[in-house]
Amino acid sequence: MSSLSEVAAPEPGRVPGDGMPGWVHAGLAIFAGLLAALIAVQHPLWPDLLTPGWLLWCFAVYRRPSLWLKAVPALLPVAGFSAWSGWIGVEEFDLLVLGAATACHARMAVAKAAGASVEGVRGQPAQRFRPARIGLGLLAVWWLLALARGLADAGGMPLGWFEGYEEPLNCLRVAKSLLLVLLLLPSLRELLRSRPRRAGHDLAVGVATALGLAAMAIVCERAGYPGLLNFSTPYRSTGLFWEMHVGGAALDGFLALAIPFVAFLLTQARDRRRWALAAALAVVAGYACLTTFSRGLYLGVAVSLMVLAAACSASRGRAFLVGAGKQPAAAREPWRVVANRALTVVLIVEVLAVLGLGDFMGMRLAAGERDLGGRVRHWRESLSLLRTPSEWLLGRGLGRFPANYSHSVPGRAMPGRLQWLNEGGDSHLRIYRPQHAARSRGAFELLQRVPVPTDGSHVLAMDLRAPQWASLRASICHKHLLYAASCVQLPLTLPPGDEWRRISLAVPAPARAAGGWSMPGFGFFSLRPEGPAEFIEVDNLSLVDGQGNQLLANGDFSAGMAHWFFAGYHYFVPWHVDSLFVETLIDQGVIGLLLLLALLAMALRNLLRGPGSRHGLAPYLLAALAGSLVVGVFSSLLDMPRCAFLFYLLLCCALFLDEHDQEDLSDRPAPFPQVSLELPRIV
């Protein structure tokens, strides 16, 4: 490690190691700020609260740029309210990231204008990580080209705030994760260069905090619906990842990326209290993983932990930034050894409980061969979308898979869709039912969050019309997202006609579900078309309780799809390719796939043999990427924005991680203790 006296002084007007001029940082700050302001003022729920809140967040990050590295990952699971707002392509997490980017670029622009360095950055060889920078630059350019191809295929601009998966906004929904990470990349690189030890610690704690929030949400979900120890009911946890309203593996991908950081907390715990908190997180996170009943996640976590154990074993005896120095005697304290063994026993018992106290996991495992055959067939159908050499080389464009697959593959149409109509100032909604073969496989519902009624005093009213005889089902369900604990269902039949018909019904209270807590705040009102009409038009929806309170917002659809959500059930193949690699090939072609694989190879090399291999965070990043890639073999990860953001953030950290500590540690205590990287033997 170079001493401070050996480090070159910064050149005036330039932050060392950062080739971007100040005006570029200023332009990016203005761009991110204006985009965030537009999102905040257009928000369907809290436009008056989000703007001042976003400004406070920007001020906090400006004063302390390292704050975002911990806070953004930590808030990732909870900064999404699509089920309430109705937004799918844009969400609150985007505001969080744009605020951090605005503040960081503004600080860099000011620092360069003043000729000062940012975050105490000192010099770094100009050639270091040049291939990674070139690779990321090429991927960014190719990503923008794929976005342009997708927008052109979807019909181009303008975009609507409430567009779905077949419309142009879906292209930006898929593209935004990498673009948001690239906006934060200059700040990330500065933090990793100037304070690599503290940056690694902040990132790991942030991801572990996110895992704790997501896992506790799953515990509450299962306690309120199937029951904590009910492992026989076909109920798969979704947590706070509303992207899974049309299936997918957002939760699986997040858990695979986050699980290794529980081991980080265990190894960095300096006393019994901190170790106990980390162990509690391990138990809760294990429960969250097991109750997804995802075989791909099980395999991914197993591979991740084996990679982590192997990396820590191979690196034992080295000096690391996260706990610099030789292995201290404290790491071999008797209480720690006993506690690790006890935790291992608890985790094994947890696995056996899920397998032994219910038969759902057994059914999932027994159907593995059949499901794999269906997955392979789905990949073949998906690859059939690439029909010309140019499409194989360039791809079909980001975000266009749902529309292209649904329209091009026979029998694989969407199970339903929504269309907002405005005729002469009169707004209403058209709900299309499943088409052709999709009718026997899946269902499609219009949803809005409402409190579940506790008595029979509610009255439901709506205007309906349909071109043919139609039937639909109105329901109020005690439901988290996809699985209902209890429901009041009201079947309706509608004769054909061009005139609106007003329907009013009394709503009885649903029976309390056995085995779950009473959670009246988590319910859904839903409308499900069942046939035979191709679509049903609905307007002036109203749900009034016994006190005369209106429970449905925007029932006349005058504000577009604000407050309204939708979900598909049992049939998800039109929405997802179910493979990270096939998904990249279809969206970006062979060139895009090779660029991604090249970046992954460079990241893994840096963690194994490069400058980052001696950083204490390297084994955990290596394990996280390995686990996510295993899950990505069987699931789409990059079409789930929050999961994709974390994937790209950890990938960039792995690309630019360096073992050189340029902090002056002579007069500063270590922020966390010096302990070994020995893990509980859970594999």
Q: What is the pLDDT of residue 332?
A: 64
550-585 burial code (b ≥16 CB/10 A, e <16): ebbbbbebeebbbbbbbbbbebbbbbbbbbbbbbbb
Please report, to the nearest 10 degrees, the dihedral formed by the alpha carbons of residues 177, 181, 182, 186 taken in order: 170
Q: Which stretch of DSSP H or E encloses residue 531?
A: strand 523-532
Running DSSP on this structure, what letter comes out for residue 542?
Answer: E
Quote the tokens at residue 504. Answer: 């009013």
List CB contacts of 33: < 8 A, sequence separation 6 or more. 58, 98, 102, 106
Position 673 scores a pLDDT of 35
CA atoms 665, 671, 673, 678: torsion sign: negative
Q: What is the pLDDT of residue 188?
A: 95
Domain boundaries, the chain: 4-360+576-656, 417-569
Q: Which amino acid is at 259?
A: I
Q: How far is CA 99 from CA 22, 30, 82, 165, in A?
A: 19, 11, 19, 26
pTM metric for this prediction: 0.90
Average pLDDT by stretches of 10, the chain with 683 residues: 35 49 93 96 93 96 95 96 93 96 95 64 56 94 96 87 92 96 95 90 96 95 88 90 92 96 92 93 96 94 94 63 43 80 93 87 85 92 95 95 92 88 88 66 86 82 93 90 86 91 87 52 85 90 91 93 92 92 96 97 94 91 97 94 97 88 39 38 37
Q: Which fold has domain 417-569?
A: Jelly Rolls (2.60.120)
Q: What is the pLDDT of residue 121?
A: 41
Q: What are phi and psi of 618, to 5 degrees?
A: -55, -50
Sheet holding 470-479, edge to edge: 484-494, 470-479, 523-532, 443-450, 565-569
Q: Which residues contact 118 (CB under 8 A, 6 or more apart)?
A: 15, 18, 65, 107, 108, 111, 190, 194
CA atoms of 36 and 561, how far apart (whole Å): 21
Strands (E), 533-577: 535-544, 565-569
From residue 150, alpha-carbon distances to 51, 157, 481, 586, 596 in Å are: 31, 11, 29, 11, 19
Give the whole-angstrom CA distance, residue 577 versus residue 376. Answer: 10
For residue 510, give the nearest of 460, 550, 457, 455 by alpha carbon.
Answer: 455
19-26 contact pairs (CB < 8 A, 24+):
20/108, 20/186, 21/112, 22/108, 22/109, 22/112, 22/113, 23/109, 25/105, 25/106, 25/108, 25/109, 25/112, 25/186, 26/105, 26/106, 26/109
Question: Peptide bond before 196: cis, by omega within 30 degrees of 0?
Answer: no
